[in-house]
Structure 1
Amino acid sequence: MDFLDNVKHEGENQKAKRREGEPTAAFKGAAWVALLIGTVAYLIGLFNAGMELNEKGYYLAVLIFGLYSSVSLQKAVRDKEEGIPVTNIYYGISWFALVAAILLMAIGLYNAGSIILSEKGFYGMAFVLSIFASITVQKNIRDTQKARERK
């Protein structure tokens, strides 16, 4: 019975360490793993692709642009929701940048004659996974910081 009591006590200690509003370690870990899997898979696919170097550069730039714009938009939306001043121009540019990144990816894949359909699907899914995971990681970082600032 001592073993079960110790396990229960350990679980209570873990709960005590995590503050109210802070995401669980499992959720934070899952978000980071999803970001790494999506981004690394995309980059490995690009490295092994038989496309021209300028095409590879295009897809790399779109990924970087998409990751940055998604984090920027998440921050702008969250700031606005929390009453932190966000200019309308920055808010609008953040939305425009993310939509532009997604459209650039979609248009690039649609017009890519050197990529077979399954590869197009792979790049699309890895891109979407990376974008979604970057938003989640940014949210987790912000939630953790806010929870730790509360006393």
Structure 2
Amino acid sequence: MEEETVKPDATPRIKRNKEVPSAAFVGAAWFVLFVGVIAYLIGLWNAEMQLNEKGYYFTILLFGLFSAVTLQKSVRDKLEGIPVTNIFFAISWFGTIVSILLLVVGLWNAELALSEKGFYGMSYTLSLFAAISVQKNIRDTAESER
């Protein structure tokens, strides 16, 4: 019996399962995103801090959501063999790391109770993770329709 040898491709490509994410997973991801963002915003609305501080934390949330989705997209593009420039990939990582560091520095210096700091940290990370999941679901759904 002869053994077949498979020659590896020059460019690694991951074959993705073309299945659509389940409705339960899509719904849960959207629900968690809304819960995280709404909880964070309600916390900001009710916080006893100056308007410029509230603006700082709001801007960090928007920056974090955008940078996390951008990072997820660029990582997945690379895994699937879609060209991503090194500068875009580096900026995606940089933006995500900086958004998290800005939140940490802001909370470290804020005159808030530890429970409030924990609340903002948890709702922020929940929102970022959920945004990544929602973006993945959107992409998987669009890919399965092709």
TM-score by length of 2: 0.87
Equivalent residue, structure 2, for 1:73: 71
Find 1:55's aligned residue among 50, 53, 56. Answer: 53
Taking only the aligned residue pairs, the percentage that are identical comes to: 62
Equivalent residue, structure 2, for 1:135: 132
Equivalent residue, structure 1, for 2:113: 116
Equivalent residue, structure 1, for 2:32: 34
Q: Once superposed, what is the RMSD of the aligned Cα atoms?
A: 1.1
Deviations 1:64-99 (A, max 9, x none): 000000000011011111111100000000000000
Residue 74 of structure 1 aligns to which amino acid in structure 2? Q
Following TM superposition, the consecutive aligned residue runs of length 4 or more in structure 1 with deviations greater than 3 angstroms are none
Matched residues, number:
130
Structure 1 unaligned residues grouped into runs of 5+: 1-18
CA deviation after TM superposition for structure 1 residue 20, in Å: 4.6
In structure 1, distance between residues paired with 2:107 and 2:49: 12
1:148 pairs with 2:145: yes
Find 1:82's aligned residue among 64, 80, 88. Answer: 80
TM-score by length of 1: 0.84
Between Structure 1 and Structure 2, which shows a larger proportion of helix residues? 1
Local SS of the residue matching 2:53: helix
